[in-house]
Amino acid sequence: MKKIAIIGAMLALSGCAQIDNYNSVVKAPAPAGLAGYWQSEGPQSAMVSPEAIATLVVTKEGDTLDCRQWKRVIALPGKLMQRDDDFYNVTSKITPDVYAIDKDGDRLDYDRMTLKRVDRPTQECADYLKKNPLHSPLP
């Protein structure tokens, strides 16, 4: 029980904000080098299976698509949010998810995963984007 209280206190003090309303989030343009396509490389412990693939699409204007696939595609549009010098992806769910984005060269730390820059999204995510385009042009 003590561990749960300590973990809860650490999360509360970590600076990660809870967002209750997606529409209230002010979209931030992508900083230099963040716009583009990012994809998981190899098995990731945060994914449900070693065959699962995560793709993050970021436009220059700050629109995003978090696209994950294994046996089916789950794609969540979102937008970048900036707090101080940190950037977050906020998904457009009823209760939005907020994921920190930490860029280091051609690698991103995102939702307990490491993503690398790629030239294009997977075919499944590209098909989703054709049917459900983002608000701003793709990278």
With a cut of 90, say whether residue 87 has pLDDT above it: yes
Using one digit for the tens of pLDDT, what is the confidence trace for 45-75?
Answer: 677 677 889 999 999 999 999 999 988 999 9
Using one digit for the tens of pLDDT, what is the confidence trace for 95-138?
Answer: 899 999 999 999 999 999 999 999 999 999 999 999 999 999 98
Confidence band, pLDDT 50/70/90 cuts, at residue 16 = low
Does the predicted model carry a pTM greater than 0.85? no
pLDDT, residue 7, reads 36
With a cut of 80, say whether residue 92 has pLDDT above it: yes
Q: How far apart are the C-alpha atoms of 77 and 65, rounded to whole Å?
A: 4
CATH architecture of 2-131: Beta Barrel (2.40)
Using one digit for the tens of pLDDT, what is the confidence trace for 23-41?
Answer: 889 999 999 999 999 999 8
pLDDT, residue 61, reads 98
